[in-house]
């Protein structure tokens, strides 16, 4: 039995390849057992080969990212690989995709099943200008930019994991990999770092993203942040660039916008001549000193609503209710409505509130008293649903009012 050592000649401008040991895939059964065992114990390191057209200056950068990938992840995925959690499977497949010049995405998910298709899995887009698949620096193709932004290429490459027991009837379950299709409908890219997900494999890019997050939290504009990022020292001519949308999405929308939304809402109401009243809560430290002021509720109405309310709710009736899930902050919207003498419904006032507690209704009704009924009789009847916080509040906040419940 002989082992053959092959050393292919290095192509132009490329570093010599690592020698690859080719072992016979079949060992005759008549050979002694220890030879089989010895061959099984030989671990063949997977040698990553750069794309033949990859710019030589980029090879060490991609190689550096490859070196951080567990060698087993560079092997093609195989049916039956096991994972404790789906994110492990995603990482394993994404690592393989990087080594091969494509990217996977999280596709449709069901109970106990996750799909991981190629990023180009969606139906093909029209190529009216008949551009080549790849860009080239030497002008040998008619495409100027790499086609990574237009993702739809109807690619069938897909793996999936399912949560199941390995033996029929066994109770222990785990995530098991299944391979559906390993072929691409497109050429893989020359530089895998051209995909946004893989860009983060460069430590400099990860550092740039962290810095951009700090810039975003400091409320720097996109342009100002880009100027800061330009000053990051670079080892090569790689650009660390975030698109505008990526930059503004770095911080989760709730964290980012909570204060901005409230401030803009109050400014907008102020400009529109709304009457606004706000209920705050205070966070206290151990010495009972206030360290933070939180908005709990906003009450608002305009002069037109006030006139209608004085005319048609005073000494008559109104109806109140709350609406859920209508804004990014998940604040409830309380509305009081009534009807005019021509049977037209009108809204008397509004209130945004964080929660539906008794004090929420107390504040809502107190504001109505002070803003709507300060110089006229209050409403005689109120129609409400059976929210227990409201029915608890009304006998105290409006003891004279007649309560009428509805579903
Ligand atoms: Zn593909």
The angle that helices 222-230 and 203-217 make with each other, rounded to 10 degrees, is 140
Q: What is the pLDDT of residue 295?
A: 86
Q: What percent of the chain is predicted at pLDDT more than 70?
A: 77
Q: Given a cut of 80, is residue 186 above it in pLDDT?
A: yes
Q: How far is the CA of 49 from the centre of ligand 1 (A)?
A: 19
Nearest CA to 356 out of 384, 338, 331, 336 is that of: 331
Distance (Å, whole) CA 342 – CA 345: 9
pTM of the model: 0.46
Q: How far is the CA of 151 from the centre of ligand 1 (A)?
A: 9
Q: How far is the CA of 154 from the centre of ligand 1 (A)?
A: 8
Average pLDDT over residues 255-265: 69
Q: Given a cut of 60, is residue 392 above it in pLDDT?
A: yes
Burial of 25 (0-12, 13-18, 19+ CB in 10 A): exposed
Nearest CA to 47 out of 82, 71, 16 is that of: 71
Distance (Å, whole) CA 208 – CA 216: 12
Q: What are the strands, taking DSSP E only, across 154-232?
A: 158-165, 173-181
Q: How far is the CA of 241 from the centre of ligand 1 (A)?
A: 25
Q: How far is the CA of 101 from the centre of ligand 1 (A)?
A: 9
Distance (Å, whole) CA 122 – CA 237: 33
Q: How far is the CA of 316 from the centre of ligand 1 (A)?
A: 68
Q: In what order do the strands lie in the sheet with 173-181?
A: 82-83, 173-181, 158-165, 113-117, 109-110
Q: How far is the CA of 162 from the centre of ligand 1 (A)?
A: 21
Nearest CA to 367 out of 305, 317, 292 is that of: 305
Mean pLDDT of the chain: 79
Using alpha carbons, list the distances in angstroms from residue 277 to 86, 280, 349, 366, 392.
48, 10, 11, 11, 23
Distance (Å, whole) CA 97 – CA 192: 9
Give the H/E segment covering residue 66: helix 59-67
Residue 296 CB-half CA count within 13 A = 17
Q: How far is the CA of 188 from the centre of ligand 1 (A)?
A: 7
Q: How far is the CA of 58 from the centre of ligand 1 (A)?
A: 22
Q: How far is the CA of 121 from the centre of ligand 1 (A)?
A: 6
Task: Confirm if 256 and 216 have CB atoms less than 8 A apart.
Answer: yes
Q: What is the pLDDT of residue 25?
A: 40
Task: For the beta carbon of residue 157, count every other beta carbon within 10 angstroms.
Answer: 23
Q: Given a cut of 70, is residue 397 above it in pLDDT?
A: yes
Q: How far is the CA of 118 from the centre of ligand 1 (A)?
A: 5
Distance (Å, whole) CA 83 – CA 116: 14
Q: How far is the CA of 120 from the centre of ligand 1 (A)?
A: 5
Task: Confirm if 242 and 210 have CB atoms less than 8 A apart.
Answer: no
Average pLDDT over residues 344-358: 91
Which of 76-85, 244-253, 260-269, 306-315 is predicted with the least confidence, judged by mean pLDDT? 244-253
Distance (Å, whole) CA 114 – CA 134: 31
Greatest mean pLDDT among 105-114, 140-149, 313-322 lies in 313-322
pLDDT digits (tens, 9 = 90+) for 4-40: 444 444 444 444 444 433 443 444 445 455 544 444 4
Q: Given a cut of 90, is residue 224 above it in pLDDT?
A: no
How open is the CA angle 131-137-139, to the nearest 5 degrees? 55
Q: Given a cut of 80, is residue 178 above it in pLDDT?
A: yes
How open is the CA angle 282-280-326, to the nearest 5 degrees? 125
Q: How far is the CA of 227 from the centre of ligand 1 (A)?
A: 35
Q: How far is the CA of 357 from the centre of ligand 1 (A)?
A: 53
Using alpha carbons, list the distances in angstroms from residue 320 to 25, 94, 207, 361, 362.
78, 53, 52, 10, 13
Q: What is the pLDDT of residue 242?
A: 73
Task: Confirm if 254 and 246 have CB atoms less than 8 A apart.
Answer: no
């Amino acid at each position: 039995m002989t082992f053959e050592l092959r050393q292919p000649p290095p192509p132009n401008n490329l570093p010599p390849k690592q020698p690859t040991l080719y072992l016979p895939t079949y060992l005759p059964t008549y050979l002694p057992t220890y030879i089989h065992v010895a061959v099984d114990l030989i671990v063949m390191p997977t040698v990553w080969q750069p794309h033949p057209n990859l710019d030589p200056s980029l090879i060490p950068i991609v190689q550096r990212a490859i070196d951080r990938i567990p060698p087993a992840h560079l092997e093609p995925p195989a049916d039956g690989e096991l994972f404790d959690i789906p994110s492990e499977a995603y990482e394993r497949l994404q690592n393989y995709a990087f080594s091969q010049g494509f990217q996977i995405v999280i596709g449709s998910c069901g109970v106990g099943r996750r799909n991981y298709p190629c990023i180009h899995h969606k139906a093909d887009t029209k190529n009216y200008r008949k551009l080549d698949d790849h860009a080239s620096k030497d002008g040998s193709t008619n495409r100027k930019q790499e086609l990574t932004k237009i993702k739809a290429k109807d690619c069938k490459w897909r793996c999936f994991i399912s949560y199941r027991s390995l033996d029929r009837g066994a109770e222990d379950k785990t995530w098991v990999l299944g391979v559906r299709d390993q072929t691409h409908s497109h050429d893989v890219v020359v530089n895998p770092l051209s995909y946004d997900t893989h860009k983060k494999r460069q430590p400099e890019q990860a550092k740039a993203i962290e810095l951009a997050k700090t810039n975003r939290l400091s409320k720097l504009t996109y342009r100002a942040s880009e100027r800061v990022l330009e000053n990051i020292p670079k080892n090569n001519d790689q650009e660390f660039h975030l698109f505008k949308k990526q930059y503004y999405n770095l911080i989760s929308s709730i964290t980012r916008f909570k204060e901005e939304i409230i401030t803009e809402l109050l400014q907008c109401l102020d400009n529109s001549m709304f009457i606004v009243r706000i209920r705050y809560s205070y966070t206290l430290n151990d010495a009972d000193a206030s360290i933070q002021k939180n908005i709990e509720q906003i009450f608002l109405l305009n002069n037109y609503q006030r006139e209608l309310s004085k005319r048609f709710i005073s000494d008559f009736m109104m109806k109140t209710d709350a609406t859920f899930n209508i804004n990014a902050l998940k604040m409830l919207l309380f509305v009081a409505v009534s009807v005019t003498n021509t049977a037209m419904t009108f809204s008397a006032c509004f209130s945004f509130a964080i929660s539906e507690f008794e004090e929420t209704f107390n504040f809502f009704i107190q504001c109505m008293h002070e803003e709507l009924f300060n110089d006229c009789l209050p409403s005689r009847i109120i129609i409400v649903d059976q929210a227990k916080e409201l029915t608890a509040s009304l006998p105290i906040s409006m003891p004279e009012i007649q309560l009428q419940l509805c579903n």
